[in-house]
Amino acid sequence: MQLTFRQARAADIPRLVELLADDALGATREDLSQPLNRSSTLAFHSIDQDPNNELVVVEAEAELAGMMQLTFIPYLTHTGSWRCLIEGVRVAQAFRDQGLGTELIRWAIARAREQDCAIVQLTSDKQRPDALRFYEALGFKASHEGFKLRL
């Protein structure tokens, strides 16, 4: 399968929102109504304008097959270093169980190295046991609890 990674464009937003909603947890919290919720467009432009945020898509067979967001963050901790935070990883139904998720995360790790990051990190919902095994198989350690507080 030939994969093409690129930055997301504004024209991708409707498809990206579909991808986010096409998921057991995402289905409960995304808004697929048309015209698109204005906050999705605003969020896209905030990401797009920030050099430390990258919304990455992967195309396969001329379709948008997967997505993820990378955030590069400078920290004083660990002797002053950058980290790459991965969030919102999704693979389209038609492309699941073909190793595309692995390719996305490998691409993210390579991009993090390029940006001179010392750590790649992400949180994964404990309700997704397959995802937990998936990240462990890629070398991630579940050394931390991932705390969330809804405002």
To the nearest whole angstrom, how small is the minimum distance from the Cβ of residue 94 to a copy of itself? Answer: 20
Looking at beta carbons, which pairs linking 42-47 to residues 24 or more positions away fall under 8 Å? 44/8, 44/10, 44/13, 44/16, 45/10
Binding site for a copy of itself (CB under 8 A): 13, 16-17, 20, 26, 29-31, 37-44, 46-47, 50, 52-53, 55, 69, 71, 73-82, 85, 87-88, 109, 112-113, 117-127, 132, 135-136, 138-151
Q: Taking a C-beta distance cutoff of 8 angstroms, is the pair 72, 108 a contact? A: no
**Token digits of residue 60:** 């396969």
To the nearest whole angstrom, how small is the minimum distance from the Cβ of residue 14 to a copy of itself? Answer: 11
CB-wise, 2 or 29, nearer to a copy of itself? 29
Half-sphere exposure of 150 (CA within 13 A, CB side): 1
**Token digits of residue 122:** 């992400």
To the nearest whole angstrom, how small is the minimum distance from the Cβ of residue 2 to a copy of itself? Answer: 25
Q: Taking a C-beta distance cutoff of 8 angstroms, is the pair 55, 47 a contact? A: yes
CB-wise, 61 or 64, nearer to a copy of itself? 64
Distance between CA atoms of residues 143 and 148, nearest Å: 16
To the nearest whole angstrom, how small is the minimum distance from the Cβ of residue 11 to a copy of itself? Answer: 14
CB-wise, 1 or 142, nearer to a copy of itself? 142
CB-wise, 61 or 137, nearer to a copy of itself? 137
